[in-house]
Amino acid sequence: MKKFLLLAVAFLGFAANAQVDKIYKHNGEVVEGKVIRLEEYTIVFKYDGEDAENTFGKYAIEKIVYGKTGRVEEVTEKIVINGEADWEKVVILEDKAYIAGLKKVDEVRGKTGLINYHTGNTGDKKAEKKLKIQAAKMGCPFILQTADKSTVGASSNSLGGSQVIKKGIGYKY
pLDDT for 50 equals 93
Would the CA dihedral through 76, 82, 86, 90 be positive or negative?
Answer: positive
Contact 30, 45 (CB under 8 A): no
For residue 98, give the nearest of 131, 142, 161, 53 by alpha carbon. 142
Length of the chain: 173
Task: Identify the pLDDT of residue 150.
Answer: 77
- Predicted local confidence at residue 113, as pLDDT: 64
Q: Among 59, 137, 145, 46, which Cα is nearest to 103's?
A: 59
pLDDT for the residue 52: 96
Burial class (CB in 10 A: 0-12, 13-18, 19+), 57: buried
What was the pLDDT predicted at 123? Answer: 72
- The pTM (predicted TM-score) of the whole model is 0.76
pLDDT tens for each residue of the chain, 173 residues long: 555 444 444 445 544 455 899 999 999 999 999 999 999 999 999 998 899 999 999 999 999 999 999 999 999 999 999 999 999 999 999 899 999 999 999 999 987 765 555 455 677 788 899 999 999 999 999 999 998 887 765 554 455 566 788 999 999 99
The full DSSP string for 63-109 is: EEE-TTT--EEE--PPP---SGGGGGG-EEE--GGGGTTSEEEEEEE
Alpha helices, DSSP H, located in the chain? 2-18, 120-137
Contact criterion met (CB below 8 Å) for 133 and 86: no
pLDDT at site 6: 47
